[in-house]
Chains A and B, each alone.
Chain A
Amino acid sequence: MSTVSSQVELPAGVVLPIYMDNHATSPLDPRVLEAMMPYFTAKFGNAASRNHSFGWEAEQAVETAREQIAKLIGATAKEIIFTSGATESDNLAIKGIAEMYRERGNHIITQVTEHKAVLDTCKRLEKHGYRVTYLPVKADGLIDLEDLKRAIDDKTILVTIMAANNEIGVLEPIREIGKICHEKGIIFHTDAVQIVGKAPFNVIEDNVDVASISGHKIYGPKGVGALYVRRRNPRVQISAQIDGGGHERGMRSGTLNVPGIVGLGKACEIARAEMEGEAAYLRSLRDRLQNKLESELDYIHVNGSMEHRLPGNLNMSFVYVEGESLLMGINDVAVSSGSACTSATLEPSYVLKALGLGDDVAHSSIRFGLGRFNTQAEVDYVAAKVIDIVKKLRELSPLYEMVKEGIDLTKIEWQAH
């Protein structure tokens, strides 16, 4: 009797389940938690309270965090606005700029592989009289700068292109994009959620005007994010989307989440000190994982550019094996799949489809997101487990058998449902 359940031995020191989905969220760094703790209890003041020490203490903590974030990305503290997270940051940036610069134009340029926080925001603006161009991406997941230049017209007010993709980890050419925007007097916003703290990102060198940042992707807490808004060359203005007490220089009202902000600041401080070494470490783990998988399995390939990529990202398709069945076999390892069966919509990943991958290959993809707390022993276990399960599922796969027999699957008239 054939069996799919795996007998891979657990290396010493590895505790199950293994978390390898750090693009979705990352564990809180204990040093971050330690920094946050006093602001839940003794230091509970409202940062907007100007007339007593509780307020001053909270305000001081917020300003320290602003500095920590600014330093990591090459900004100044006054250019950092706190939000509830990167989805809010994206909404505030795109809607706030669209509204503020409406008289100058109504055209926005983005790309098809953006996060839904950007795409759905753009879609909403289309209902309100804005035109949006969704640039395609090449097979490596990156936009063609010539496409961008062609898309710009005299009504273009905003270009919003992410710095690093959340599924395939590819790094868009933001420096060149920003340069093109600045030559044309167009504002450049980037969703920098995945790049900040993981790979070099500097708002001056990279010609970025507005950038969205998240706390929980960089070993900070959930429920807190930031928006960088450039104050000089050019000065960017944003219409508030939440009205109230005029916090954050009128751009985002609402009592500040002081513990969260302290955590985000601390996470940025740690990232600034450790990013270089950590990136090298993650790259070595990622390459080890990739090499092990490629040495044992045929018909697998990496999705997206390997050259322009986050160090901790590996997105691979295991052709002729369906992604969800693979996840089921490695259920003691937390990773993500581009398979339709893992999503609410039953549609495979729109990001992978945008690379030109067929639905069948998109269904076969797994995203490994390596992070600060992953170990080499974990990588070895995950590699062995994936290899074992893929081999077993391919014994079950009629497609693999047919391909091995030399049958061209594209020449079959499938009875699609």
Chain B
Amino acid sequence: MAYSDKVVDHYNNPRNVGTLDKSSGDVGTGLVGAPECGDVMRLQIRVNPETKVIEEAKFKTFGCGSAIASSSLATEWIKGRTVEDALAIKNTDIVKELSLPPVKIHCSVLAEDAIRAAIGDWKKKNGVEENAPATAEAK
């Protein structure tokens, strides 16, 4: 399978790889996907409590090149946005930006889920109402 230049670029130079302290009150963590499905994304955000702006975004992804690129792109896009603005990002935007083929659309869906899960986690911590997709948790 041939990859688009943008997928290759994100794969070769992934943006915002890393880990934030998930116990911190201003950090939201989204962990989506499953190892048996071949992709797991963890996306974390640090939100300014005053402005609700996402000041920091970090990810780690287990998955194919398109999954890595989708999550890398997601962190780039949400940084600097308010949480409500970040929720406006749709998987189809990621598909378009990365020219993902049909078999890789699930990677973009997972990235959108990761954004929503991270924001949902942050909202839960900070007492904000939310029905975002659940993040994976220890049993």
Contact = CB atoms under 8 A, between A and B. Distances in A.
Nearest to A394: B62
Contacts of B20: none
B46 interface: no
A413 B13 contact: no
A360 B34 CA distance: 8
Given A396-B68, A398-B40, A407-B138, A417 B34 contact: yes
Nearest to A417: B37
Contact of B34 (A322, A325, A342, A414): A414
B100 to A, nearest CB: 12
Contact of A324 (B65, B110, B135): B65
Contact of B31 (A2, A321, A346, A398): A398
Interface of B is mostly: mixed
Given A398-B42, A398-B62, A360 B35 contact: yes
Contacts of A395: 17
Contacts of B40: 398-399, 414
Contact of A417 (B11, B60, B109): B109
Contacts of A340: 38
A12 interface: no
A414 to B, nearest CB: 3
Nearest to B103: A346
Contacts of A14: none
Interface range on chain B (Cβ under 8 Å from partner): 35 or more
Interface in B1-39: 1, 3, 8, 11-15, 17, 19, 31-39
A5 to B, nearest CB: 4
A16 interface: no
A412 B12 contact: no
A401 B61 CA distance: 11
Interface string A403-415: 0000101011111
A358 B64 contact: no
B13 A5 contact: yes
A411 B103 contact: no
Nearest to B109: A417
Nearest to B72: A396
Contacts of A1: 13, 15
Contacts of A407: 138
Interface in B38-58: 38-42
Contacts of A413: 136-139
A401 B42 CA distance: 11
B133 interface: yes
A194 B12 CA distance: 36
B13 A322 contact: no
Contacts of B103: 346
Interface centre among B8, B15, B17, B32 (most CB of A within 10 A): B17
A2 B14 contact: yes
A416 interface: yes
B130 to A, nearest CB: 16
A140 to B, nearest CB: 22
Contacts of A5: 12-13
A321 B64 contact: no
Contacts of A415: 31-34, 113, 117, 133-136
Contacts of A399: 35, 40, 62
B64 A341 contact: yes
Contacts of B133: 415
Nearest to A346: B103
A363 B103 CA distance: 16
Contacts of A280: none
Given A415-B135, A417-B34, 7 more contacts: A2-B13, A322-B63, A398-B42, A412-B137, A412-B138, A413-B139, A415-B113
Interface of B: 1, 3, 8, 11-15, 17, 19, 31-42, 60-65, 67-68, 103, 106, 109-110, 113, 117, 133-139
15 contacts: A2-B14, A5-B12, A320-B62, A325-B63, A325-B68, A358-B35, A358-B36, A396-B68, A397-B61, A398-B40, A413-B139, A415-B32, A416-B33, A416-B36, A417-B34
